[in-house]
Amino acid sequence: MPIQWFPGHMNVTKKAITERMTEIDVVIELLDARLPGSSANPMLHALTGHKPRLKVLNKQDLADPEVTARWLAHYNAQPETRAIALDASERAPAQQLVKACHALAPNRGGMAKPMRVLICGVPNVGKSTLINTLRGERKAKTGDEAGITKLEQRITLADDFYLWDTPGMLWPRIIVDKSGYNLAASGAVGRNAYDEEEVALELLDYLRQHYASALEARFKLDAPIAPLRDEDVLEAIGRKRGALLGKGRVNLQKAAEIVMNEFRSGTLGRVSLETPDEFGQWLAEGEQKEAQRQAKKAARKSKQRGGGADASELAAD
């Protein structure tokens, strides 16, 4: 089932970004280095126009370094775009942001023309942790839960460097099904918007194919998992971790929570859930499905105007 999550405060954030853009010099988009394509908000391109943008692949210490290098090359090849990878909790790498922003907007700086930067990203991507690191103090709220930051706030990093922090924001319709699962696995989606077992099975499907040895080692599984079904792997993990119900049955809900927590914490090792090529294919398929959906919707509306639509067709819209 496709995952969607766009609570009311995100619409407020969308309006705030639109109003703020007239005075912004550089846009920083914080991405999850384990899922850079899925955590890139397509709505931001329309909201931020042609402003220079800095793509920051955060949590790079949790991601596969080889895959991260491919994503950096992918983004750095785009016009008016720079990309760096960092771990937001480390102060020295975080300072790269200031230098990168000045490189993107070399004419800004000094009290007469202070640098004005907007930082945005999906929920739970690490913006608040990064901002606290930049300031060297704990001002922004942090937490391993989507939707911690609710209001826009301006932060002065230097006398001539202003940073506007915005709440984490997804987009009204996620057209790439795989992105919805990856975002949920990373913690960017509210818990009431997805089924843990379904997301864990999708996560295991990718990890089983690309990081089987890491799964086997972490959960001390007795047999190679590559040829197994995802459901069998989840059950095996549940048994190993004691997630059991009566009569030896596995508590699959608990097993799913274990798998996702291990991924989010990085205890599985450095893994990434998508490459640029994989995401490009998923996106093309998603755009094709969305075009078909929009065509059917237009046809139903046209039929409705002609008086020929029945209740079942309208309900399917």
pLDDT at residue 13 in the model = 82
CATH 3.40.50.300: which residues of the chain? 15-165
**Highest-confidence segment of 93-97, 125-129, 199-203:** 199-203
146 against 82, higher pLDDT? 82
Name the token pair of 31. Answer: 């991405």
In the predicted model, what is the mean pLDDT of residues 228-243? 94
User: In the structure, what pLDDT confidence band is assigned to residue 314 with cuts at 50, 70 and 90?
Assistant: very low
pLDDT for 309 beyond 60: no
CATH of the domain spanning 15-165: 3.40.50.300
Least confident of 86-90, 231-235, 269-273: 86-90
pLDDT at residue 130 in the model = 86
128 against 70, higher pLDDT? 70
pLDDT at residue 307 in the model = 65
Domain 195-265, CATH among 2.40.50.140, 4.10.490.10, 1.10.1580.10, 3.40.30.10: 1.10.1580.10
Mean pLDDT for the chain overall: 87
pLDDT at residue 146 in the model = 44
- pLDDT tens, residue by residue, 43-56: 888 888 789 999 99
CA–CA dist 234, 253 (Å, integer): 10
CA–CA dist 167, 133 (Å, integer): 17
pLDDT for 71 beyond 80: yes
- pLDDT tens, residue by residue, 201-221: 999 999 999 999 999 999 999
pLDDT for 311 beyond 80: no
User: In the structure, what pLDDT confidence band is assigned to residue 144 with cuts at 50, 70 and 90?
Assistant: very low
- pLDDT tens, residue by residue, 245-295: 988 899 999 999 999 999 999 999 999 999 999 999 999 999 999 999 999
pLDDT at residue 168 in the model = 85
CA–CA dist 133, 125 (Å, integer): 14
CATH 1.10.1580.10: which residues of the chain? 195-265
pLDDT for 140 beyond 80: no
pLDDT for 11 beyond 90: no
CA–CA dist 64, 206 (Å, integer): 14
Residue 275's closest CA among 178, 208, 184?
178
pTM for the structure as a whole? 0.87
What are the φ/ψ torsions at residue 164 (nearest 5 degrees)? Answer: -100, 120
pLDDT for 25 beyond 80: yes
User: In the structure, what pLDDT confidence band is assigned to residue 148 with cuts at 50, 70 and 90?
Assistant: very low
pLDDT for 310 beyond 70: no
Least confident of 59-73, 124-138, 176-190: 124-138
pLDDT for 150 beyond 50: no
Question: In this prediction, what percent of the chain has a pLDDT beyond 70?
Answer: 90
